[in-house]
Amino acid sequence: MRVLFASWHFYIDQSNGASVTTREILRALARRDWEVFTFCGSAVDDWRRADVKRSLARRGLTALRKVEQCDSVPFTTFSFRDEGINSILFSPEDRSQVPSKDVGTAFLRLLTSVLRRVKPDVVVTYGGYWLGGAMLKAAHDVGAKTVVLLQNFAYNDREYFRDADLVITPSQFSSNVYRERLGLKTVAIPPLIDWSNVVPDASDAASDSACRDRLLFVNPSPQQGRLTLCAYRGGTSAIATRYPDSCRRRERRRERTAPYPQGVGGRRRRRVYEEHVASSEFLPPC
């Protein structure tokens, strides 16, 4: 089976939860002898890590760099292999988070070329702003099946999914939200977790066994998970929090300017967020 992940978002972006989850899925498929390819833009959540060469070097990845141009749009492609994943990164000189019409058109033309060369059985994507629907259509045009990964509640236009054969959410709660909002039929599949990244080895566990009942939650935004931990701890909110003064000031500004967490805009999505926090069905078993 041959699968291509195509997105405007860089799948090795460690500042983006959807990218981290997607990379785990692609690595797992590669380990199971799938032929895995990616064609991505260079958009990342953390603009301070937008340097492509540094991002690749930090992960020990060596890329073949090629400067190209499509119409009036100059760009650079980086080709590399990431743990069995054959990847191409599209990096335009215009590094805007949302692609302009010219840059997006150049991206789609190169994607079409990649699709014809790779001939994937399945194309997986998420996000992409206005490019998302166009990427799905391009995949259908070459006879590939299409899969959309929904990792948040930001999708409000059903038209985006016109050419999607399968839509996957990370929880039944998310599936319920999109069924109510868009009448969308989805399949809930929990995110894959590489336990070697989160479970201590035997020597670590033996050396500090007395501290095994403690859990450290690290996130610059307390809204993203703190209440989930409270629910996981049996409903108690007695969880100590400590973060730098700069983060504290930022959170105070958010509290003054918005009645609910950043990124969960709109009254309807505020209700969804509050229900999501109050629900216990998405919590992992003890």
Tell me the per-residue pLDDT of 263-272, one tens digit each, with 9 for 90 and over: 444 455 445 4
Q: What pLDDT does residue 274 have?
A: 47
DSSP 34-68: -EEEEEEEEE-S-GGG--HHHHHHHTT---EEEEE
Interatomic CA distance for residues 207 and 17, integer angstroms:
31
Q: Are 139 and 20 within 8 A, CB to CB?
A: no
C-alpha to C-alpha distance for 136 and 159, rounded to whole angstroms: 11
> How far apart, in whole angstroms, are the C-alpha atoms of residue 230 and residue 233?
5
pLDDT at residue 137 tops 70: yes
Cα–Cα nearest to 125, from 25, 57, 34, 242:
25
Q: Does a structural domain hold residue 124?
A: yes
pLDDT at residue 146 greater than cutoff 80: yes
- Say yes or no: 257 and 214 in one domain: yes
End-of-domain residue from the set 162, 188, 214 = 188
- In this prediction, residue 74 carries a pLDDT of 93
- 74 plus 146 within the same structural domain: yes
Angle, alpha carbons 115-129-139 (nearest 5°): 20
Q: Same domain for 162 and 225?
A: no
Q: Please indicate, yes or no, whether residues 239 and 133 belong to a single structural domain of this protein.
A: no
Residue 193, in any domain of the structure: no
How far apart (Å, rounded) are the C-alpha atoms in residues 55 and 12? 8
Instruction: Supply the pLDDT for residue 22.
Output: 93
User: Which pLDDT value is given to residue 71?
Assistant: 81
Both 68 and 155 in one domain: the answer is yes
Q: Are 127 and 22 in contact (CB under 8 A)?
A: no
- The confidence score (pLDDT) of residue 234 equals 56
- Distance (Å, rounded) from C-alpha 56 to C-alpha 285? 36
Q: How far apart are the C-alpha atoms of 4 and 174, rounded to whole Å?
A: 24
Q: Are residues 173 and 227 in the same domain?
A: no
Residues 63 and 166 in one domain: yes
- The reply to whether 72 and 170 lie within a common domain is yes
pTM: 0.75
Quick: pLDDT tens for 200-256. Answer: 766 655 555 555 666 666 665 666 666 666 666 555 444 455 545 545 555 555 554
| Tokens coding 94 | 């215009």
Kindly report the number of other CB atoms within 10 A of residue 170's CB atom.
19
Q: Is 145 or 283 the better-scoring residue by pLDDT?
A: 145
18 & 123 share domain: yes
Q: How many domains does the chain have?
A: 2
Residue 283 lies in a domain: no
Task: Give the domain range for residue 274.
Answer: 202-278
168 with 231, same domain: the answer is: no
Does residue 171 belong to any structural domain of this protein? yes
Task: Give residue 237's pLDDT.
Answer: 46
One-letter amino acid for residue 84 of the chain? G
Answer yes or no: is 174 within a domain.
yes
Q: Do residues 176 and 219 both lie within one domain?
A: no
Residue 156 DSSP class: -
Gap between the terminal Cα atoms of the chain: 36
Residue finishing a domain among 136, 165, 188:
188
Please check whether residue 215 lies inside any domain of the structure.
Answer: yes
